Structure 1
């Protein structure tokens, strides 16, 4: 469970950053975030409304719905690779937890097909 929480936090961070299409995040190192359990847990709690948010956490939480609902449409190619890597990692660790995140940000499941297509193809 602990590893899953870490991956979920990384997803939230990267997905949220990606939706903004900020150049400063083009060199984002997903692996270093995944390895820092304290930071990942903090982001997870933030995006799931289970804890306080930092400035970055608030931004991630704000853009996460768009990132998931558009399958990272506004992301650069590099950002898409990072988001896809993190989503697939989370899904591999815990399908139920992955679904919990998706259900929070896409409760009507209106965009699941597009998101799953993105996970399979990267587009």
Structure 2
């Protein structure tokens, strides 16, 4: 399930870089992904350089900076909903890990306000 999450984020960020959208993962069940803490922790460790990465984890790690720095700015509405659900799920499971993730990928906090606004409003 988390593999689909990270594939969805990969598609979103790759689409952003190409300025076009792909909808292959638009029907990912983000809620069920958030419920699997074992997989969530494995991906967290991957993106934080604290554990091994799967192919999906490496792809997610590659696109995460752009996704966070733009607050999913180039995402389609469905993709925004998926990314928002997943980020809020990570935050709900562990606020310290969520903050550590943000600090790693937005160390100067240049986009923190926009990211929090996105998490609250979905826009």
Mapped partners of 2:86, 2:108: distance in 1: 23
Aligned length: 114
Mapped partners of 1:26, 1:90: distance in 2: 19
Gaps of 5+ in 2: 16-21
CA offset at residue 15 of structure 1? 4.1
Aligned-residue Cα RMSD (Å) equals 2.2
Name the TM-score, length of structure 2 as normaliser.
0.78
Matching of residues 35-46 of structure 1 within 5 Å? 35-46=35-46
Q: Deviations over 1:39-84 (max 9, x none)?
A: 3232112111111211111110000000001000121111111111
Name the TM-score, length of structure 1 as normaliser.
0.78
Q: Deviations over 1:2-61 (max 9, x none)?
A: xxxxxxx78x73544432343221111212322333432321121111112111111100
Gaps of 5+ in 1: 1-8
Q: Report the secondary structure of 2:41's partner residue.
A: helix
108-117 vs 89-98, which deviates more? 89-98
Structure with greater proportional helix content: 1
2:77 — aligned with what? 77
2:100 — aligned with what? 100
State the structure with bigger RCO (CA 8 A, min sep 6), 1 or 2: 1
CA contact (8 A) 1:20 1:75 kept: no
* Distance change >3 Å, CA 70–CA 20, structure 1 → 2: same
